[in-house]
Structure 1
Amino acid sequence: MAHGNGGGNGGSSSGAVKLSPSSWVAEQAELYEESGGTKGTTMQGAPCLLLDYVGRRSGITRRTVLIYGRDGDDHLIVASKGGSDEHPLWYRNIQDNPDVQLRVGTERFPARAETLSPEEKARVWPHLVDVFAPYESYQKKTTRDIPVVRLRRTDV
């Protein structure tokens, strides 16, 4: 596997995708995709998915690895950025273009992203903290209300 300091283009069945500039995220995304979703599917014991989204300025498809929870058939992701005071770039991009592609394990499918209302977030937050306990400390670390995003499959 090639290691670089920038995260390059990785091939996928849906064409060239720009991987995360964070080398560990890029390496995990590459392992996840190249294994067909059989490796690299957890982070610190929590389940992960691959999120492919379109950059709002570049128009380039980008990929990141995110921990997810479930709400019925939908997947939930948290725009925590480790408790940073600013939103992660992927979140800002999906606000502009909510049509995304997911890989969850061996399955790849299109989905639409929607930020949850405060009431919906309050309902699912305990589940998300069960999935990944650090979310609780991330929220306490920032004055930013950390968004939770529902990913609803669109090919059904």
Structure 2
Amino acid sequence: MADADAAAIRAERGDWMQEHLAMYLDSGGAQGHIVDLSYVGGRELTTHCLIRYTGRKSGKTYVKPLIYGNVAGEAVIVASKGGADEHPEWYLNILASETIGVQIATQAFEATWREPEDTERHEVWEYMCHLYPPYVSYQQSTSRHIPLVMLTPVRSTEVFTSQKHQLP
């Protein structure tokens, strides 16, 4: 998918993403964890987490809602950017960090991250495509290898709040 096409999709969905983030933050995670994405080819009960990361250039703290899955106790997020030809900024920013903040529903934690390889990557990709079928078309629309990021909790943190975070 051309980056311009991906940008148009993000612009169309931008208000929804900001509303989703605000709902998640304002409720402390009581709302926004499970969202119906059937209208875009997803599942009715699609799980979302929040990731908190620092901009590698700006030094600002950002929070982004993302679909996630759970594989053997690790949360898995997908750097799909809707099938765009370039990686999402959040992914490039976490590459520059050893840990990131994560919130799943009402539980927040600091997590280390890794990218699965070989057979594990294939199995995790298949699982994530089952959770959110549009990932299949996203991968077909770009020549880049869409990264998977596995998150392992290392310590509990305070729940994210809207006063401290912004959407990039």
Alignment partner of 1:41 is 2:62: no
More deviation, 23-32/100-109: 23-32
Contact 1:78 1:148 in 2 (8 A): yes
More deviation, 90-99/107-116: 107-116
Structure 2 residue aligned with 1:100: 100
Structure 2 residue aligned with 1:24: 16
Q: TM-score under structure 2 normalisation? A: 0.76
Q: Alpha-carbon deviations, 1:50-109, whole Å to 9, x = none?
A: 000011011111010000011111000000000000000000000011311111011111
More deviation, 35-44/96-105: 35-44
The percent identity for this pair of structures is: 37
Q: Alpha-carbon deviations, 1:97-141, whole Å to 9, x = none?
A: 131111101111111122222432112111101110000111111
More deviation, 114-123/83-92: 114-123
- Cα deviation for residue 23 of structure 1 reads 3.5
Structure 2 residue aligned with 1:135: 135
- Per the alignment, in what secondary structure is the counterpart of residue 129 of structure 1? helix
Alignment partner of 1:63 is 2:55: no
- Per the alignment, in what secondary structure is the counterpart of residue 154 of structure 1? strand
Contact 2:50 2:104 in 1 (8 A): yes
Distance across 2 between alignment mates of 1:32 and 1:118? 34
Structure 1 residue aligned with 2:54: 54
Contact 1:98 1:114 in 2 (8 A): no
Distance across 1 between alignment mates of 2:114 and 2:98? 7
Which gives a bigger RCO, structure 1 or 2 (Cα 8 Å, sep 6+)? Answer: 2
* Higher share in helix: 2
More deviation, 115-124/74-83: 115-124
Q: TM-score under structure 1 normalisation? A: 0.81
- Gaps of at least 5 residues in structure 1 are 1-21
Distance across 2 between alignment mates of 1:98 and 1:24? 30
Alignment-mate amino acid for residue 100 of structure 2 = V
Over the residues paired in the alignment, what is the CA RMSD in angstroms? 1.4
- Cα deviation for residue 26 of structure 1 reads 2.3
Contact 1:69 1:76 in 2 (8 A): yes
Distance across 2 between alignment mates of 1:66 and 1:131? 13
Contact 1:26 1:64 in 2 (8 A): no
